[in-house]
Structure 1
Amino acid sequence: MITLAEQQAKVTNWPGYIGWAVGLLILIALVYWLMRQGWNWRRTLQSDLPPLPAVPEDPGPAIRQAAGRYHGSTTAGNWLDRVVAHGLGTRSLAELTLTERGLLVRRPGDADLWIPAEQLTGARTDSGIAGKVVPAGLLVVTWSLQGTALDSGFRADHPDEHAAWIEAVEALVTRTKTKKTEEAAS
């Protein structure tokens, strides 16, 4: 006859459980390390990307303002090709301010992003950008960094504002192009 103590001994295999737990922790650490190596490799590949424009002390009076989240930047037209150089791949909270001089993205805890009006090329809504898919849509601003076309994704706290943002950015792009054409003609 089997005693109660013998039955409990068969059920409790602590060395086996501890071994599996340690193995699982090692596997998780390895996957994290490989992901980090991939991020660093991508940063190295994108090291030829020119530096970001400096944030001006006075960006000018605000045309539009919104609070929300910055979801990252990709090469224009390729929503899966995340750009990580210069901190463009880091998601963060954001405060967007559109002025006549450009778009200012204040990111607490990360470097602010300044996109001069001359570098803006358009805006649209899209359903996703590099690891973030939102059925209600993201505000995607397209801009050029010294010849490299980029898309930057934002999600306003009030997504119903995206249409007004698109209209405002498109109007600024048109005014900037008109101004450049007039200056070239003079």
Structure 2
Amino acid sequence: MIRALLVLAVFVFFALCVFGMWWGYRNRARHQAAVLPSFPPVPADLGEELLPAATGVYVSTVTDASWQDRVAVGDLGFRSEATLRLYPQGLLFDRVGAEPVWVPVDAVREANVGQGLAGKVMFSGDGLLIVRWELDGTVLDSGFRGDDKDVYEQWVAALRQLAGNPGVGGGAR
């Protein structure tokens, strides 16, 4: 009898923890939906790709307040397989099973390689391609973990050129 009560108590504690995490994430999404501007839709005509597409994993988008401050609006905070595409009009995170993330060219501020973003941390310092962009005064960082990290230098150079920041810099975050 005592064992059954202990098992029930552990189960109730676990259920309360899961409920608390869900409640907090829902409240974060509600607060961010009121504060963050709406995200731009993908244009109908994108033109020709500037670089060969890169496959990998879209890690997340975070605010500039912290590399852990994940954006919870819609499905933007969820990791998914993605293909990264660069067009003259902007950058497209074409995500599998989720809405695409479109970053207009005039919103791109910086691009770097980094070690971590929103719970995804690499042991090497160059595991993620991190794109800093601005949306109606809100600075955001979106992360991408490519299958082939050898192309990061090309992507960083191309994104910096589009952003009007061709200089060489260190890693992000």
> Which TM-score band (shorter chain)?
0.7 to 0.9
2:96 is aligned to 108
77-86 or 114-123, which deviates more: 77-86
Does 1:67 pair with 2:67? no
Q: CA RMSD in A?
A: 1.6
Does 1:169 pair with 2:154? no
Q: Give, in angstroms, the shift of residue 61 of structure 1.
A: 0.9
Contact map agreement 1:52 1:86 (CA 8 A) in 2: no
Residue type matched to 2:67 in 1?
Answer: W
Unaligned residue ranges in structure 1 (runs of 5+): 1-14, 176-186
Alpha-carbon distance between aligned partners in 2 of 1:81 and 1:150, rounded to the nearest angstrom: 10
From 62, 71, 78, the equivalent of 1:83 is 71
Percent identity (aligned): 37
1:36 is aligned to 22
Bigger helix share = 1
Residue type matched to 1:97 in 2?
Answer: R
Alpha-carbon distance between aligned partners in 2 of 1:40 and 1:171, rounded to the nearest angstrom: 38
Q: Give, in angstroms, the shift of residue 160 of structure 1.
A: 2.2
Does 1:146 pair with 2:133? no
> Can you list the C-alpha shifts for 1:146-173, whole angstroms capped at 9, x where unaligned?
1101001110011222222111111122
Residue type matched to 2:28 in 1?
Answer: R
Residue type matched to 1:60 in 2?
Answer: G
TM-score, normalised to structure 2's length?
Answer: 0.86
1:130 is aligned to 118
Moved beyond 4 Å, runs of 4+: none
Structure 1 or 2, whichever has the larger Rg, is 1
Unaligned residue ranges in structure 2 (runs of 5+): 166-173
Residues 86 and 19 of structure 1, relative CA distance in 2, 3 Å threshold: same
149-158 or 21-30, which deviates more: 21-30
From 66, 80, 85, the equivalent of 1:97 is 85
For these two proteins, the number of residue pairs brought into alignment is 161
Q: Give, in angstroms, the shift of residue 57 of structure 1.
A: 1.8
Alpha-carbon distance between aligned partners in 2 of 1:135 and 1:160, rounded to the nearest angstrom: 16
Alpha-carbon distance between aligned partners in 2 of 1:86 and 1:19, rounded to the nearest angstrom: 39
